[in-house]
Structure 1
Amino acid sequence: MSKPLLILFGTFSGNSESCAEKAASVARLRGYDPVLENMMDSTADVLKQFDTVLLITSTYGDGDPPDGTENFYEQVVNHPRFRLEHLRYSVLALGDSCYDRFCQCGKDYDEALEAQGATRFHARVDCDIDYDDPCDAWIEGVFATLAEERLLAA
C-alpha cells in the first residue's frame, strides 16, 4: 500500500520543478504515491490534506518568493490561518549566494511551518546555483529518513 506524499514546488526558472520531479520519481520507487503541486496553483489548505510534505522553492532576487507563488507564501508565512501539528516536512531551498538573503524564501517556509506546529523530519538544505548534487543528496536523505521511520514504526 503506497503512502501519499505532497511535493510542493515554487519556481521561477524551472529548477525547483526539476528537483520536485526527481523527488517524485524516487518517491514512486520507494513505495509512495507522490502528488506534485505548483505553489502557483495552490493554497495553504493543501497542507491540511497530507501528513508529509516536501517543499522545494527557489528564492527570486534578494529574498522574494518566485513570481506567481506570492499568494501561497502570504498564506503560509505571513498570515497563517491554522495549526499544522499533524504535518511532517522537509524543505529544499534554491538560491544564489551572491544575494544577501540567500535562499530566504526556503528559510521563511521552514521557520513558518515549524512555528505552526509542523515537525521537520529532515533538515533543510540550501542550494546555490549548482544545485544538482545538493538536490540529489537531499532527496536521498529525505527518503533514508522516511525509510528509517517506517522500520521503527513496524
Structure 2
Amino acid sequence: MKALILFGSTTGNTEYTAEVVQEVLDKNKVETTLLNAVDASLEVMEKDFGLFVFGCSTWGDDDIELQEDFEPLYEGMDKVSFDGKLVATFGCGDSTYTHFCGAVDAITEKAQAGGAKIDVSPLKIDGDPDDVRDEIEDWAQKVADLAKAA
C-alpha cells in the first residue's frame, strides 16, 4: 500500500512526529511519501494512495485554527473523495487551550464526511513529541498494521 503523510508544522513538533510515523511505516514495508503542507496542493490527495496520514498543529484559544500551511488543504478536502481510503490523523497542541488538538478533530471529521475509513483513534500530543516518542511509535505501528491488512 502507498501512504501519504501530509503535515503542517510551525514549530517543528508536527514535522518531527510525521518523520517518526514515516520511520515506522517504512520499517513495516509501507511505501511512504512525506510531504510538508507548504509544498502541497490539493491534487496530491487525488493521487493513488491507499492511506492518508494527516498531521496538523492547532492554534487559537477562542476558535480552532489549523496550522496556516495546512488550512488551504483542509478547506479543499470537501472536493476530495476518500471512499475506500484509510485515514489516520495526528497533531501537536497544548492542553491548556480550550480546543486541545482541535485541528485533528476537524480533519478527521472532514475525511469521514468524504468517505474515509478511520480505524485508529487520532493521536493528540500535548507538548514536546520527543517526550512521547514511544507513544508515537505505538500509534504508527497500529496504522502500519491496518495498512498491511488492507
Same fold, TM-score > 0.5, yes or no: yes
TM-superposed CA distance for 1:145, in Å, is 5.0
Of all paired residues, the percent bearing the same amino acid is: 27
Partner of 2:54: 55
Partner of 1:82: 80
TM-superposed CA distance for 1:148, in Å, is 6.0
Structure 1: unaligned runs, 5 residues or longer: none
1:32-71 deviation per Cα after TM superposition (whole angstroms, max 9, x unaligned): 2210011122123322221101111111233211123221
TM normalised by structure 2 equals 0.85
Cα gap change, 1:92/1:113 in structure 2, threshold over 3 Å: closer, same or farther? same
Alignment root-mean-square deviation, CA = 2.1
TM-superposed CA distance for 1:128, in Å, is 1.0
Larger deviation: 133-142 or 102-111?
Answer: 133-142
- Give runs of ≥4 in structure 1 deviating > 6 Å: none
Q: Is the partner of 2:89 in helix, strand or coil? A: strand
Higher relative contact order (CA 8 A, sep 6+): 2
Q: Is the partner of 2:59 in helix, strand or coil? A: coil
Q: Is the partner of 1:40 in helix, strand or coil? A: helix
Q: Give the Cα–Cα distance (whole angstroms) in 2 for the partners of residues 27 and 149 of structure 1.
A: 9
Q: Is the partner of 2:79 in helix, strand or coil? A: coil
The number of equivalent residue pairs is 147
Q: Give the Cα–Cα distance (whole angstroms) in 1 for the partners of residues 132 and 121 of structure 2.
A: 12
Q: Give the Cα–Cα distance (whole angstroms) in 1 for the partners of residues 42 and 6 of structure 2.
A: 11
Q: Give the Cα–Cα distance (whole angstroms) in 1 for the partners of residues 36 and 109 of structure 2.
A: 20
Q: Give the Cα–Cα distance (whole angstroms) in 1 for the partners of residues 57 and 112 of structure 2.
A: 19
Cα gap change, 1:144/1:69 in structure 2, threshold over 3 Å: closer, same or farther? closer
Asked if residue 30 in structure 1 is aligned to residue 31 in structure 2, the reply is no
Partner of 1:71: 72
Cα gap change, 1:116/1:98 in structure 2, threshold over 3 Å: closer, same or farther? same
1:83-122 to structure 2, matched below 5 A, reads: 83-122=81-120
TM normalised by structure 1 equals 0.83
TM-superposed CA distance for 1:13, in Å, is 0.5
- The answer to whether the 8 A contact 1:47-1:87 is kept is no
TM-superposed CA distance for 1:149, in Å, is 6.2
Q: Give the Cα–Cα distance (whole angstroms) in 1 for the partners of residues 98 and 143 of structure 2.
A: 31
Structure 2: unaligned runs, 5 residues or longer: none
